[in-house]
Homo-oligomer: A and B are copies of this chain.
Amino acid sequence: MARWQPNASERLVVAALELFEERGYERTTVIEIAERAGLTKSTFFRHFHDKREVLFGGGAMAGVLADGIAAAPAGATPFEAVAHALDAAGREAFTSARREFGARRRAVIAGNPELQEREALKGLGLTASMTDALKQRGVPELTSCVAAELGALALKIAYERWSNPTGSGDFGDVARRALSDVLAAGGLG
Residues of A within 8 A of B (CB): 117, 120-121, 124, 140, 142-143, 145-147, 149-150, 153, 157, 181-182, 185-188
Contacts and interface: CB of A to CB of B under 8 A. Distances in A.
24 contacts: A120-B120, A120-B121, A120-B124, A121-B121, A124-B124, A140-B185, A142-B157, A142-B181, A142-B182, A145-B153, A145-B182, A145-B185, A146-B150, A146-B182, A146-B185, A146-B186, A147-B186, A149-B149, A149-B150, A149-B153, A150-B186, A186-B186, A187-B188, A188-B188
Contacts of A145: 153, 182, 185
Given A117-B121, A149-B153, 18 more contacts: A120-B121, A124-B124, A142-B157, A142-B182, A142-B185, A143-B185, A143-B186, A145-B153, A145-B185, A146-B182, A146-B185, A146-B186, A149-B149, A149-B150, A150-B186, A186-B188, A187-B188, A188-B188
